[in-house]
Each structure stands twice: as C-alpha cells, then as structure tokens.
Amino acid sequence: MRKNIVVGNWKMNLKREESLELVSAVLSKLPEDKNTEVVFAPSFLYLYKIAKLCSDFERVKVSAQNCSKEGKGAFTGEISSEMIESSNGDYVIIGHSERREFFKETNADLVQKINMALANNLKVIFCCGERLNQREESTHFDWVKQQINESLFHLSVADFNNIVIAYEPIWAIGTGITATSEQAQEMHGFIRTIISEKFGNEIAENTSILYGGSCNPNNAKDLFTQKDIDGGLIGGASLNADDFLAIIHSF
Ligand code: 13P
C-alpha cells in the first residue's frame, strides 16, 4: 500500500525562530489517527534542529531541498547527502523546477544527485512538470516522460522503492493557478503507467505520486481524492501552520 504524504517545501523562506515556531504549531495539532506522512523541508541551517523536534512523531519526517551531486571534497558552499543523512534528514527534494531553471540543473546532474542521495540512505522526492507552452502545444506528456526516463529509469527496483514523485506543472507554481483535479489526475495516471511499464504493476501501485503547484486548503481535498494523487508538495501554503494543517487534514 502506498503512503499519503504531505510535504512542506519552505524554499528560501523563514528565519530560525519562525521556522521552529511553525514546526511546533503544526506538531501540536497533527491528527493522531491519520496515516498521512508529514514532511518538513526547511533550510539546511535548521534541518538538524527540526529533525530533533520531530523525532517523537513517527509519521513526521524531514527533507532537504537539494543536495550536491558530489560525495565530498573541495566544493565550497555545497551540502552533501552524507551531511544531510548525518543531520537526521530522511528525504531530499531533487529536480525542483526552480533548481532546473535558476541553477541550470540538467537531467544528467539529477542522476548524479539521486544516486548520491540513495547511496546515503535518503529517500528522494523527484520533481517533474511542464511549462505552460508545452501544455499548450500538447507536448507535456512527452516532456514529463523524458524527465522521468532520463533521471530515474537507470535505477534498480530496490532503489526505485525509495523514490517519491512530485508532479509540479511549472505554470501552477506560486501563481495561484492550480491544475484542475482532472488535469492533475490525468498526468498522475500517466506517470503511474510509465512506471508500471518499466518496473511492473506492483512497484507502480506502491509509488507515491504527489501534486504541487498552488495547492491550498480550498483545493487540496478535490486533488487528494483523485485515485492517483497521493498527497502534495506544498510551497506557499506550508508557511502558515493553519493552512498546512488544513491541507494535511484534507485526506
Ligand atoms: P506553491 O505551492 O507556492 O505553488 O509552490 C509549489 C512548489 O513549488 C512546491 O515545491
């Protein structure tokens, strides 16, 4: 059975005190009987501290927002997967469209990052998604297939078990425009089909596929009730405890 997961990707927001307050506020109101996994993706700077705050909550995990493609060495300013793991990180987000666009990360770079993360016992939240013009030109399915194919399909079945996929149409990120639940379901169903063709039906059925892009308390329920949508990768709405909790409660 695949997991429902709600991830708060804080991006480059929140000072230290604000971060700790937000985590405490969310933890104090988490539903006790729910199976949903909740993941905080704060700045690297607070990851260790937040992992400590979350350590008593079995279904709460911590994610980095990025990792180096290198293992260790003279790479000033970089953060390795080994460092994330040793700071009690559980996940790392790889392939976010902001990293692809602003930091020119290619599918080949992502392969190196994914391999490094998995070798250091991190789970990977792999992001994919098309630009608006690609959707308008009806090339969005081919594009997402290529992203997944070039960055994930070299993995063994055992490694693929540690991958969560996040479909984030770029035109929906931070714009207030959400994909309709039908558009999102259509892409999620497609992603599950290509995973099934590569790794078999059982693996595909066990892979959590999250939606990201202007997900908020008003649209989360509609998205999460779609059969192939297993949760969300939340940006803006994860910065507010009440909104993030409302999304978590949407299952
Ligand atoms: P928003 O929820 O702010 O649109 O951001 C989505 C996102 O990029 C999460 O990774």
Contacts of 81 (CB under 8 A, 6+ apart): 67, 68, 71, 92, 113, 116, 117, 119, 120, 122
Name the closest-CA residue to atom 5, ligand 1: 235
The first and second tokens of residue 191, run together, are 């992603």
Do the beta carbons of residue 6 and residue 234 sit within 8 Å?
yes
pLDDT score for 244: 98
Do the beta carbons of residue 70 and residue 78 sit within 8 Å?
yes
The ligand 1 atom at the shortest distance from the C-alpha of residue 238 is 2
Catalytically active residues are: 96, 168
In angstroms, how far is the first alpha carbon of the chain from the final one?
Answer: 16
What is the rounded average pLDDT of the residues 39-48? 98
Cα-to-centroid distance, 93 and ligand 1 (Å): 12
pLDDT score for 1: 83
Q: What is the pLDDT of residues 124-146, one digit of tens each?
A: 999 999 999 999 999 999 999 99
CATH, residue 230: 3.20.20.70
Q: Which of 66, 234, 239, 240 to mutate to test the pocket of ligand 1 (most atoms within 8 A of CB)?
A: 234
Determine the Cα–Cα distance for residues 160 and 137; give it in Å rounded to an integer.
31
pLDDT score for 31: 79
Task: Say which amino acid occupies 175.
Answer: T
What is the rounded average pLDDT of the residues 141-163? 98
Rg (CA), the chain: 17
Q: Half-sphere exposure (CA, 13 Å, Cβ side) for 155? A: 29
Name the closest-CA residue to atom 2, ligand 1: 235
What is the rounded average pLDDT of the residues 221-240? 98
pLDDT score for 173: 92
Q: Assess whether the C-beta atom of 39 lies below 6 angstroms from ligand 1.
A: no
* Counted domains in the chain: 1
Runs of H (alpha helix) within 165-240: 181-199, 201-206, 220-224
Name the closest-CA residue to atom 7, ligand 1: 235
Cα-to-centroid distance, 30 and ligand 1 (Å): 21
Cα-to-centroid distance, 152 and ligand 1 (Å): 22
* Residues of the domain holding 119: 5-248
The ligand 1 atom at the shortest distance from the C-alpha of residue 233 is 9
Overall pTM > 0.75 = yes
Determine the Cα–Cα distance for residues 211 and 68; give it in Å rounded to an integer.
25
